[in-house]
């Protein structure tokens, strides 16, 4: 049977045939031509080198003034006045507290009256001795009377001395009612108010006066750190080794570094048996009063290393608590390698094991790599890196 198509239908059929041929042609060639290999990525490559470096080790520290003096009353009485406020800076001799003095002033007045009576008795005894002396010399009276008068005079003199001591003691006790600052410093918390009854048996001090022109930062070293310290510095004694230590930094609670350097001065004479550590003391100038007793921070001790294998932290990645780098082989293929970190300095790691000087590692773009991938190395020098980002 013959099918006759109109010119319009013939055009439609021809278009369908063309599309069918093109589709078949694409399907037939898709399996025969391989996909072009992806182009190797261009990544910066760094040559590892040994250079001088300084590392830092931080130790938790508590800060105290060179003098933290508890201000305590030496006599009992009610507080009449408090002349200072908490946190105030005072000079030596500034009046801090006034205890009611009425009782002690009366004691002083009474002691003065006793002294006056004793002095009158001494004067009378001296008169008697003066009268009897010529009589005894002229044999008018016996010397027994003169001896008795002399003994009375000596007793009166002793009474005067005793009364004078009582006056002095009463005067001192009266002086204790005015409490002055023994040194320059900052006033601590004042737990008592005007009208409080205080005395020498009071458990709490009236306040604590801290002299902080220089402060002490106390920090502890473990036995292992202490052995490293002894091996690191020269000297036959601990004192000599401490004198060879460099100046140290104080890192404050907000991680800022205190602007003045400090010096380690002394070490404790024994280890704390419960903590297994030994305490050291570093001194810092505090003329601006930025530090107060009770502050906390960290003492940062530098350690100079003459030849350290250094890699930037960006060139590493962590996997299962291990640190790795991508090492570039001669064929420009990369392989991951674990390294041992001994310390850090700024944005750099100091490598103990896993690398050698001259090894080439990928500096950046590690997220684009996998084992055995070939790259196009773009060398960068350690010197230029250190100039832009010092250790």
Kindly report whether the global pTM for this prediction surpasses the value 0.75.
no
As a whole number, mean pLDDT of residues 249-276 equals 89
Q: Are residues 84 and 150 in the same domain?
A: no
Q: Are residues 271 and 328 in the same domain?
A: no
**CATH number reported for the structural domain that contains residue 356 in this entry:** 2.40.420.20
Whether 82 is covered by a domain: the verdict is yes
**CATH number reported for the structural domain that contains residue 198 in this entry:** 2.40.50.100
Q: Which tokens belong to 45?
A: 């490559």
**Would you place residue 259 in the very low, low, confident or very high pLDDT band (cuts 50, 70, 90)?**
very high
- Kindly give the interhelix angle for 143-175 and 102-137, rounded to the nearest 10 degrees: 160
Q: Are residues 88 and 111 in the same domain?
A: no
Instruction: Indicate the burial class of 111 (C-beta count within 10 angstroms; 0-12, 13-18, 19 or more).
Output: buried
Q: Are residues 322 and 293 in the same domain?
A: no
The residue among 164, 186, 204 that closes a domain is 204
Average pLDDT, the chain: 86
What are the phi and psi torsion angles at 186 (to 5°)? -105, 140
**Would you place residue 19 in the very low, low, confident or very high pLDDT band (cuts 50, 70, 90)?**
very low
Q: Are residues 91 and 182 in the same domain?
A: yes
Q: Which domain holds residue 245?
A: 58-65+212-305
Q: Which helix (H) or strand (E) is 175 found in, with range?
A: helix 143-175
Whether 343 is covered by a domain: the verdict is yes
Give the residue among 171, 162, 152 at the shortest CA–CA distance from 114.
162
Whether 245 is covered by a domain: the verdict is yes
Cα–Cα distance list, 309 to 49, 103, 106, 286, 354 (Å): 6, 77, 81, 38, 10
Query: Strand pairing partners for 179?
Result: 97
Whether 19 is covered by a domain: the verdict is no
Q: Which of 92-101, 132-141, 240-249, 336-345 has the lowest mean pLDDT?
A: 132-141
**C-alpha span between 318 and 323 (Å, rounded):** 4
Whether 27 is covered by a domain: the verdict is no
**C-alpha span between 251 and 4 (Å, rounded):** 98
Q: Are residues 191 and 261 in the same domain?
A: no
Q: Are residues 277 and 258 in the same domain?
A: yes
**CATH number reported for the structural domain that contains residue 264 in this entry:** 2.40.30.170
Q: Are residues 126 and 163 in the same domain?
A: yes
Overall number of domains in the chain: 4
Q: Are residues 216 and 239 in the same domain?
A: yes
Q: Which tokens belong to 57?
A: 């080790």
Give the residue among 178, 263, 179, 259 at the shortest CA–CA distance from 217.
263
* Tens-place pLDDT, residues 147-196: 888 899 999 999 999 999 999 999 999 999 999 999 888 999 999 999 99
Whether 15 is covered by a domain: the verdict is no
**Would you place residue 5 in the very low, low, confident or very high pLDDT band (cuts 50, 70, 90)?**
very low
**C-alpha span between 331 and 40 (Å, rounded):** 12
The residue among 204, 223, 242 that closes a domain is 204
Give the residue among 261, 256, 292, 270 at the shortest CA–CA distance from 221.
270
């Amino acid at each position: 049977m013959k099918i006759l198509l109109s010119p319009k239908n013939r055009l439609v059929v021809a278009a369908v045939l063309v599309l069918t041929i093109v589709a078949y042609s694409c399907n037939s060639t898709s399996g025969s031509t391989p996909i072009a290999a992806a182009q190797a990525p261009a990544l910066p490559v760094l040559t590892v080198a040994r250079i001088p470096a300084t590392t830092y080790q931080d130790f938790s520290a508590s800060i105290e003034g060179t003098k933290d003096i508890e201000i305590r009353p030496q006599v009992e009485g009610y507080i009449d006045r408090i002349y200072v406020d908490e946190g105030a800076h005072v000079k030596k001799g500034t009046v801090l507290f006034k205890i009611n003095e009425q009782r002690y002033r009366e004691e002083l007045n009474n002691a003065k009256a006793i002294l006056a009576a004793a002095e009158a008795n001494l004067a009378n005894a001296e008169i008697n001795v003066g009268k009897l002396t010529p009589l005894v010399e002229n044999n008018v009276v016996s010397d027994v009377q003169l001896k008795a008068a002399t003994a009375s005079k000596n007793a009166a003199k002793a009474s005067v001395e005793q009364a004078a001591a009582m006056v002095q003691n009463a005067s001192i006790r009266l002086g204790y009612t005015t409490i002055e600052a023994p040194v320059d410093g900052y006033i601590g918390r004042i737990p008592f108010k005007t009208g409080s009854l205080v005395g020498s048996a009071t458990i709490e001090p009236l306040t604590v006066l801290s002299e902080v022109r220089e402060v002490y930062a106390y920090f502890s070293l473990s036995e292992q750190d202490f052995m490293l310290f002894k091996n690191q510095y020269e000297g036959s004694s601990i004192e000599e080794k401490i004198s060879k230590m460099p100046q140290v930094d104080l890192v404050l609670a907000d991680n800022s570094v205190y602007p003045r350097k400090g010096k380690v001065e002394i070490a404790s004479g024994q280890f704390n048996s419960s903590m297994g550590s030994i305490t050291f003391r570093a001194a810092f100038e505090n003329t601006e009063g930025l530090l107060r007793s009770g502050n906390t921070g960290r003492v940062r001790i530098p350690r100079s290393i003459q030849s350290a294998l250094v890699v930037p932290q960006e060139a590493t990645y962590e996997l299962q608590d291990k640190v790795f780098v991508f090492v570039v082989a001669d064929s420009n293929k990369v392989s991951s390698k674990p390294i041992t970190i001994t310390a850090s300095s700024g944005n750099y790691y100091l490598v103990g094991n896993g690398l050698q000087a001259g090894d080439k590692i990928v500096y950046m773009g590690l997220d684009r790599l996998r084992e055995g991938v070939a790259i196009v190395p773009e060398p960068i020098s350690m010197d230029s890196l250190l100039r832009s980002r010092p250790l």
